[in-house]
Structure formats: structure tokens, C-alpha cells
Amino acid sequence: MDLSSLQPLLAAVAGVRVVTVGDVMVDRFVYGDVTRVSPEAPIPIMARQSEALMLGAAGNVARNVAALGGLAALVGVIGDDEPARDALRLVGQEGGVEGFLIRDDGRPTTLKTRFVSQGQQLLRVDLEQTHPVADEVERRLVRTLHDAARGAGAILLSDYGKGVASPTVIEACLAAAAANGAVLIVDSKARSFRRYGAVDLIKPNAAELAYATELPAETDAEVEAALARALQLTDSRAIVVTRAAKGMSLAVRGQAVRHFSRPPPEVFDTSGAGDTALAALGLALAAKAPVDQAIEFALLASSVVVEKAGTATASPEELIEAELAAALAPSEAKVVTPERMARQVARWRERGLKIGFTNGCFDILHPGHVAYLAQARSWCDRLIVGLNTDRSVRALKGEGRPVNDLEARALVLAGLASVDLVAPFDDDTPIALIRAARPDVLIKGADYAVEEVVGHDLVASWGGEVRLATLVGGHSTTSTLRKLAGER
């Protein structure tokens, strides 16, 4: 997918109505640090720092539909408990999501609690009951589904095996899709795909495809064989399998299997990535996009969310940014605007990474610069370099400087492994960038005193630190220019 097709598609999906029906969950993330082992048993002790609540499963699909610009109608079942009240509150906070949640006093609201330290899940605790909905709850669910489906372009059935996707509810989905001319897509954790009937599309992941067909699903050839078997086991018109870094593969009856991929992202957390893919796929098909384009859209959206913590969403702006970055060389993709820098810093912070910031002109890169930046990077997990624009360099150094223009200086810096982002700034100081980045570590050379470093007071105010890097003697831009001029 390139921008010439992405931008019209984003315009087309804006305001399109999609129904997400199925198992609604609340995802609870408890974050903290682990610094010791319990004396009572060989288990880590986590000092709790914070927690976050998010809608999961069908709720996360609805969140992603709304984040991409669609209108989501969320149909599902909750209990009469605190997680149910959390779910209702979370739905109310999501712009673009309309909640149609049925209360079932006979079951708890599904709650998944994950304990996370330094970006790693230590434990997940599930509260759930998986018996099928029945009787009056099932009848209310069917009536609600038909009401919510009016005017919808797609119905997305998210079957996590928690009891909502009963045979009666599946039949209601098929009937509602037919009545509204909507595409019906199933995201299935079930062993049998046949139970869904003649849906338009089933979207398992590779492990679920292997489970349903009892065939391996790793290589392209294995996936093709498993998809052929899956089509024999279901009345679905097509099956698309998500394969993590290997992309997606599509099997349509009577056609050869097609494989889709994009450059693999930096994966941090795959929680909910399948929900994002389902939302993007359904939204694009609801907007009448070709299935190939819908799959590319889903791949792009899921590549954005796996770089975030928790069950995340992807916005149109992030999709455009990711597509632009994919078209650039790795070093070019590191050169960012202040706005892109702030968004990237937010993603890094979600992952618990320590942010460092330094700045300079870096006119003629020399060994002293390289050593300085390497030392700065050793004090943080990610290093941002604020880079003076050409005008800003002239204001500091006088006419004749810089020798190399902004583009050349930025690309050379971005080519260093120690540099994670380069953010040009036109002001005389980088104070605006420092405010936007809120670094944990502010770094300058040892030729400064801490009190002379621009932004030292700001960084201290939010609990950060200022560190002074050792300078390598015998190297400077000024001495290099003198040598070039033939001076001694």
C-alpha cells in the first residue's frame, strides 16, 4: 500500500458503520518494577507503579474501527460487576463507539489482568465463564444485533470462545448481514470453522488455522495446504490467515492462494493485533475496497499497533506516518518533525524506555562527535538529537557556516547506530524540543557546567537528570576547517 491508495481509502472509510459482535472483555494491565525474588518461593516480587484498563476482544475491535475513522456499534454481553461498569465507562469514553451491551447476571464480565515489568508480561490472570449464552439473554442479544446492524457495511464476529457466538447468534449475524447487504467476517478461536456457515470471510491466525485443520502452517506451502483443507471444512467464501511477521495469506474458492507482506515492524506487544487487523479489514471491505487493498490496509494497521504497549489502536495519521517511513531508507526514517518525535516518545514511554536528549550543530562529523553520541546513548534506551537548522547554525557560528546543509547533517547523524531520532529545530535553543520530548536524561559536553545546559531546570522539574559527556581531545569542527584552509 502506498499513499496514493492509502489516503483515498482513509477518506472512504470515514463514517462507515460497522457492527462488532462477540465476546467483550476488559483488559487490565498492572505495571511495576521487579528488583528482587520472594523469600517465600522462587517468584519475582513486583512493586506496583500503575495500571490501565482497556476494552478487549470485540471491544478492542470496536475501538480500532473508531480510531480508523469508522462508526462502531459494539454488541456483546457483560455481567453485573465492577468490570462491567468499567466496560460501560470505557465504551462511553470512546468517540465513535456506540455500546449495545446486554447484562447477564449469570456470568462475570470477562477480565484479563496482565502483570508487566520492563515491557515483559510476568503473569496473566483470567476471570471468565465460557458457557454459551441462552434463553432471554440470547434472545435480547439477537434483537439488539438486528437493531445495531441497520445501515452497517460490515458485521465482525469476534469469537474468543467465551460463549457469545452461539449457533443462534451466528444465524442472526448471517441474517443481519443479508438484510443489510453487509460483509460478514469471523475472527475465530474455534476448532471447527463449519459452525459459522456461509460467511464471507474467516480470519484465523496461523496457530488457529493449524489447530482447525490439524496441519502445520509455518511455510507458504504449508499454509496453502492448510487453507485448502480449511475451505473443505467450511462453507465460508474465503479465508485469510494472519501470520505475524510473515504477513497474511488469502484463499478464495476457485483461486490460487495469495500471500501479502510488508517490512516487519519493531514488535513490542502483539496483544490485540488480531483485533486491529479484523477492524481494518472489515472497515475497508465495508467501504467497498477490493479485498487485496483491504488486506494491505489490515497489515499496515496491525504493524502500527504491535509497536505499542497493550491492546492499542492505530489512527489515520499513524498509518500515513508508517507508510511514509516504510518508503524511506532507515536513516531517512529517523529524521522527524517535533510532532512525530512526540508521538514516538509516547510509544517509547509506554514500553518503559528511558529517553535521552542532546543537541548541536554537528556540521562536520568527526570522531569526537561519534564518541560523544555513543556515550550519550549508553545513558539511555533511546537517544534523540536536536539538530540546528542552517539558519540556526548561522546565528550561532556566523556566515560561512554550516559547511554541510541540514539534510546532509541530519542523514549522516541518522546513519549512526547510537542515534534513534534526529529532530531539526530552527530556534536559537532546543528548549521547545526539550519540552515536547520530556527526556529522562539531558546530555551535553563536559565543557558545560550543569547550570549552563539549556533546559536543565525543566528536566530536573520532572525528575530527570543532566549528564555531561567526556570530550575527545584533538577533534573539533573548527580545527577541521582550519586544516582544510591550510592553517596550522
Catalytic amino acids?
275
The cell for 477 is 569542527
Nearest residue to 213 via CA among 186, 232, 236, 238: 232
- 3-state secondary structure string across the chain: CCHHHHHHHHHHHCCCEEEEEECEEEEEEEEEEEEEECCCCCCEEEEEEEEEEEEEEHHHHHHHHHHCCCEEEEEEEECCCHHHHHHHHHHHHCCCEEEEEEECCCCCCEEEEEEEECCEEEEEEEECCCCCCCHHHHHHHHHHHHHHCCCCCEEEEEECCCCCCCHHHHHHHHHHHHHHCCEEEEEECCCCCHHHCCCCEECCEHHHHHHHHCCCCCCHHHHHHHHHHHHHCCCCCEEEEECHHHCEEEEECCCCCEEECCCCCCCCCCCCHHHHHHHHHHHHHHCCCCHHHHHHHHHHHHHHHCCCCCCCCCCHHHHHHHHHHHCCCHHHHCECCHHHHHHHHHHHHHCCCCEEEEEECCCCCCHHHHHHHHHHHHCCCEEEEEEECHHHHHHHHCCCCCCCCHHHHHHHHHCCCCCCEEEEECCCCCHHHHHHHCCCEEEEECCCCHHHCCCHHHHHHCCCEEEEECCCCCCCHHHHHHHHCCCC
Contact predicate 187/156, CB 8 Å: yes
